[in-house]
Amino acid sequence: MIKKIFSGVLLVIFIAACSSSDDNVTPETPGETSFDRAGMLRNIADNIVIPAYQGLTTSLSTLATAKDTFVATPNQANLDALRSAWLTAYKSWQHVEAFNIGKAEEILYSFQMNIYPVSTTDVENNIATGTYDLTHPNNNDAVGFPALDYMLYGLGATDTDILEKYTTNAESSKYKTYLTDLVSQMQMLTQEVLSDWTTTYRDTFIASTANTATSATNKFINDFIFYYEKGLRATKIGIPAGNFSATPLPEKVEAFYNQEVSKELALEALTAVQNLFNGTQYNGSASGESFKTYLTFLDRTELATLINTQFNTARGKIQDLNANFFTQINTDNTKMTQAYDALQAAVVLLKVDMLQAFNVSVDYVDADGD
């Protein structure tokens, strides 16, 4: 008798499991439908990624104009204008650095834009020989914003010394050429990435919502976390603070030669990360579907709030630092490591809690499960 009841129960479950798929094509309650991932990707592409690349393109062309003026007339006023355009563009860059997907990934865009510390030997060699392939991997640490940082702030001890390189120096034309080539290269690469987004990749990106290791959704989420952990937490703060070495390495800060904007750049990067998490549009305040609304959909509002709180805590810790991390590390490195710890706490929330909630397939683990 017991057997019959058990098998009866199982039969019912079995039939229910098999047949209900047909009955429930329209979900009973709207709250239980699937999250609109395409909507999230659309918001990210249209309101964040593409506008951010457009913003960078604009500030790079301002930079190019300032550079032209400076090359034509290398004086203090034009150098100051060029430096200011460089900083604006460098800040714009912080808003696209995380997007290592599509064309950017294919052409190793970020490797050609912001690998630091810059190798001054490579830069000087390139200038001296006058023959170089800026796209070559060996030149990754001799191009982009860090190379400009050196060209605008590091060529001499004083501004007079720097201006000398572009004026009376025997090699001045070579310096000007290299400066020009660097800026053109950055413009060209950025244009290539942006055009790809606006012509074809946007639609590919939005359509790729599957939960597979290679889908845009999963790659983008993984890339975002990877950037936050490596590009922001480690490279901008942790490595110079000596978190991964026996002694601090202050010369590894971002914009080392400028000496006063490493904090500003790090804060900009953190803002970009937080805006992306919240789906806040580039240069605006409106927001749409995002990782945050995805978490809310999954009933994990408390986690979304925790992540934002932790971002804010980290921002507070970074704001406490000297404008120049180099100075901060050399005077009171504890504060620097505290900022690192605050950033690290958010890594746990993103990498463990958020990834678990999304249950995305990760691209790096290929093995059977139980």
Partner 1 sequence: MNRFQTYVQQQTNATPLAVFRIGFGLLMCYSIIRFWLKGWIETVYLEPTFHFSYYGFEWIQPLGNYTYLLFFICGLSAFCVALGLKYRLSIILFFLSFTYIELLEKTTYLNHYYFISILSFLLIFLPANATFSVDNLWRKRSYTQIPKWTIDSIKLLLGIVYFYAGLAKINSDWLLNAMPLKIWLPSKYDLPIIGETLMQQNWFHYAMSWSGMLYDLLIPFLLLYKRTRWFAFALVVFFHVFTRVLFPIGMFPYVMIVSSLIFFEADFHKKIIAFLRRMLQAVIKVKTNAIQVFPEYHVRFKSIVIPIVIAFFTIQLLLPFRYLLHPGELFWTEEGYRFSWRVMLMEKMGNTTFKIADGETGNFFYVKNSDFLTPLQEKQMSFQPDFILEYAHYLGDHFTNQGHKNVQVFVESYVALNGRLSQLYIDKTVDLYQQKESFQHKNWILPMRD
Q: How far is the CB of 243 from partner 1 (least distance, A)?
A: 5
196-225 binders of partner 1 (CB under 8 A): 209-212
For partner 1, the closer of residues 285 and 359 by Cβ is 359
Residue 10 interacts with partner 1 (CB under 8 A)? yes
**Cβ–Cβ under 8 Å, residues 224 and 276:** yes
288-307 binders of partner 1 (CB under 8 A): 298, 302-303, 306
| Span of 29-37, 61-69, 83-91, 307-315 interacting with partner 1 by CB under 8 A | 29-37
Q: Which two tokens stand for residue 95?
A: 């808003």
**Cβ–Cβ under 8 Å, residues 303 and 349:** yes
Residue 15 interacts with partner 1 (CB under 8 A)? no
Q: Which member of 242, 274, 304, 318 binds partner 1 (CB under 8 A)?
A: 242
* Nearest CA-CA partner of 236 in 255, 253, 261: 253
Cβ neighbours for 236, distance < 8 A, ≥ 6 positions apart: 253, 254, 262, 265, 266, 269
Q: How far is the CB of 105 from partner 1 (least distance, A)?
A: 18
How big is the site for partner 1, counted in residues (CB under 8 A)? 58
Residue 77 interacts with partner 1 (CB under 8 A)? no
Q: Which member of 78, 139, 140, 243 binds partner 1 (CB under 8 A)?
A: 243
Cα–Cα distance between 186 and 288 in angstroms, integer? 30
**Cβ–Cβ under 8 Å, residues 81 and 69:** yes
| DSSP letter assigned to residue 35 | P
Q: Which two tokens stand for residue 216?
A: 């845009």
For partner 1, the closer of residues 163 and 346 by Cβ is 346
Q: Which member of 11, 77, 128, 207 binds partner 1 (CB under 8 A)?
A: 11
Q: Which member of 129, 244, 285, 334 binds partner 1 (CB under 8 A)?
A: 244
Cα–Cα distance between 275 and 287 in angstroms, integer? 9
Cβ neighbours for 60, distance < 8 A, ≥ 6 positions apart: 89, 92, 183, 186, 187, 190
Which residues in this chain contact partner 1 in the complex, by CB under 8 A? 3, 6-7, 9-11, 13-14, 16-18, 20-21, 24-28, 32-35, 37, 209-212, 238, 242-246, 298, 302-303, 306, 344, 347-349, 351-353, 355-360, 362, 364-370
